[in-house]
Chain A
């Protein structure tokens, strides 16, 4: 009796995730991931309390300032309790610029990947434009879009554009030719293959492009907000620099890091859900 009930069908064995990990197995990734930040924090603490440098505040001071920055009540200066305002301003530019970049890069990438003429017209141009770093676009962007948020938006958009475009092209072009043959002998021919073969086959690459693009959007937000915007984490860092308030600079850096990390985790979670068919796609 018991034998019959406990014997799982073979499918259950191969398809289910391994269960029953020990507590240590569960915690191990978190513990290992915290080692390097922990050591860095320790080194920072020692270096600043022993006065190896006077220009960098101690972790404790930064922590205290972070709280004031977030909720106020300690220093009550111009930056107290403004974290959310700056974070939202930056997030708006990061996600807005990213979305606009995706809106252009995805169709363009699909086109360049699929249509040889489009590739011959656009590819050389894009290959020349690509190595120009976003920072080099800063002056031109300020002339074209003026000082302020529009310029920041444009630079973020530019930063996110190329990874999305290139990975989309790559995904579309590296579809296994056998799959086209398989589809056509099963009765799916011509344009129907675009939706039923090309798009799903390219999805892992497209997804990688989106992930890299969003990462780069966070990466260039500081540069984008150097263009004289009043609000945003980049603006906070620039202000901190001009006012020689290093703790403000460090707070801005930490928040960008954490926000970028959380945003990446969310994208990866969405990807893992959508691409659960792909053996290589688990971030």
Chain B
């Protein structure tokens, strides 16, 4: 098989069980998903359906209880700079300036100082924070912090960016701007993105594919390719039709339970 045909990420029959003192939690049950290079995939579903768990398995923070998680056909053994994570609460290093936060990865990998500086300059500019290069995280707004977090993984040559409700804590206007900027970066760089969200609109606005998950135990309910042309218009009838269909899939689970 040609190299280019190998998917960047393969999740094969992955289950994850958490054992607490008196109970076991089936956070993820028999999940299968294949992600190809350059795809923008959104994970969506009710709280507790295992979205974060799936993302953390791809990141390498958690190991599957059973099944396989592969990147380029090789098992994911632990966290790695090729898979960058963007957390909802930013997780910036508060003692480092914007510049040094973005340079943290390149410096950790032992790149020469001038190379680190050049890389940092490029990505600070990409996310529009050049004026704030020497500011500390506590001096930034939420939107700016999340820009730093995104630049931080991009500067580290991440091939795939994993985002767990990255814009969930932001106000609507900032969120829309960051969505546009993220799409812009994605289209320019050929990045692969896995994006967890609670918002159907956000998922339809961003994704090539929307993966709907359901809880109890966490399962993948359906995998929905979107054929809407970009840039997408949230007010268009096509957009609303997709929203209606996905909304129905998302809520069918609750319906079944109630019936």
Q: Is the pairing of A and B real?
A: yes
* Residues on A facing B (Cβ under 8 Å): 9-11, 14-15, 176, 178-179, 181-189, 192, 196-197, 200-201, 203, 276-279
Check if B109 sits within 8 Å of A181, measured CB to CB.
Answer: no
* Smallest CB gap from B110: residue in A: A187
Tell me if B95 and A277 are in contact (CB < 8 A): yes
**B-side interface residues toward A, CB under 8 Å?**
59-61, 78-81, 83-85, 87, 89, 91-97, 104-105, 108-109, 131-132, 134-139, 152-153, 156
Besides A14-B139, A182-B87, 4 more A-B contacts (Cβ < 8 Å) are A178-B89, A183-B108, A186-B152, A187-B81
The number of A-B residue pairs with CB atoms under 8 Å apart is 85
Q: What are 28 A-to-B residue pairs whose CB atoms are below 8 Å? A: A10-B131, A14-B139, A15-B135, A179-B93, A181-B79, A181-B91, A182-B87, A182-B93, A183-B93, A183-B108, A185-B80, A185-B84, A185-B85, A185-B153, A186-B84, A186-B104, A186-B152, A187-B81, A187-B105, A187-B156, A188-B105, A197-B93, A200-B95, A201-B94, A277-B95, A277-B137, A278-B138, A279-B138
Give the CA-CA distance A188 to B109 in the complex, in Å. Answer: 7
Q: Which residue of B lies closest to A204 (CB)?
A: B95
CB pair B85 A201 closer than 8 Å: no
Q: Which residue of A lies closest to B59 (CB)?
A: A185
Cβ-defined contact, A277 with B85, below 8 A:
no
Closest 3 CB pairs of A and B: A186-B105, A188-B108, A279-B138
- Known contacts A196-B108, A277-B96: A11-B85 contact under CB 8 Å: no
* Distance of A185 Cα from B85 Cα, bound (Å): 7
Is there contact, CB below 8 Å, between A189 and B79? yes
Q: Decide: B104 and A188 in contact? CB cutoff 8 A.
A: yes
Whether the Cβ atoms of B78 and A184 lie closer than 8 Å is yes
Interface residue from A14, A182, A196, A276 paired with B85 (Cβ < 8 Å): A182
Known A185-B84, A189-B79; contact A200-B135, beta-carbon cutoff 8 A: no
A276 and B91 in contact, given A187-B105, A188-B104 (Cβ under 8 angstroms): no
A185:B94 contact, CB within 8 angstroms? no
The verdict on A203 contacting B87 (CB below 8 Å), with A185-B80, A186-B156, A196-B108 known, is no
Q: Indicate if the CB atoms of A11 and B135 lie closer than 8 Å.
A: yes
The distance in angstroms between the C-alpha atoms of A179 and B92, with both chains bound, is 7
- Chain A residue nearest to B81 (CB atoms) is A187
State in angstroms the CA–CA spacing of A200 and B131 once bound together.
25
- Inter-chain contacts of B94 with A (CB < 8 A): 201, 277-278
B155 to chain A, nearest CB (A): 9
A10 to B131: give the CA distance in the assembly, Å: 8
Question: What B residues does A277 contact at CB under 8 A?
Answer: 94-97, 136-138
CB distance from A270 to the nearest CB of B (A): 16
Known: A188-B108, A192-B108, A277-B136. A11 touches B95 (CB 8 A): no
A192 contacts across to B, CB distance below 8 A: 108
Give the residue name and chain of the B residue nearest to A193 (CB): B108
State A181–B78 Cα separation when bound (angstroms). 10
CA distance A178 to B84 in the complex (A): 13
Q: How far is the CB of B9 from chain A (nearest CB, A)?
A: 15
Task: Give Cα A11 to B94, complex, Å.
Answer: 18
Contact B156 A182 (CB under 8 A): no
Contacts A10-B131, A181-B61 known; A200 to B79 CB distance under 8 Å?
A: no
A11-B139 Cα distance, complex, nearest whole Å: 10
**Given known A-B contacts A9-B131, A11-B135, A182 and B91 have beta carbons under 8 A apart:** yes
Docked-complex contact A178 and B91, CB < 8 angstroms = yes
Among residues of B, the one whose C-beta sits closest to the C-beta of A280 is B138
Residue in A186, A192, A197 with the greatest tally of chain B CB atoms within 10 Å: A186
Q: How far in angstroms is the closest Cβ of chain A from B140?
A: 8
**Residues B95 and A278 in contact, CB atoms below 8 Å apart:** yes
Contact check, B79 vs A185: say whether CB atoms are below 8 A apart. Answer: yes
| Least distance between A30 CB and chain B CB atoms (Å) | 28
With a cutoff of 8 Å between Cβ atoms, the chain B residues found around residue A9 in the complex are: 131
Known: A186-B81, A186-B108, A277-B136. A201 touches B95 (CB 8 A): yes
User: In the complex the two chains form, what is the Cα distance from A10 to B128 in whole Å?
Assistant: 13
Residues of B within 8 A of A181 (CB): 59, 61, 79, 85, 87, 91
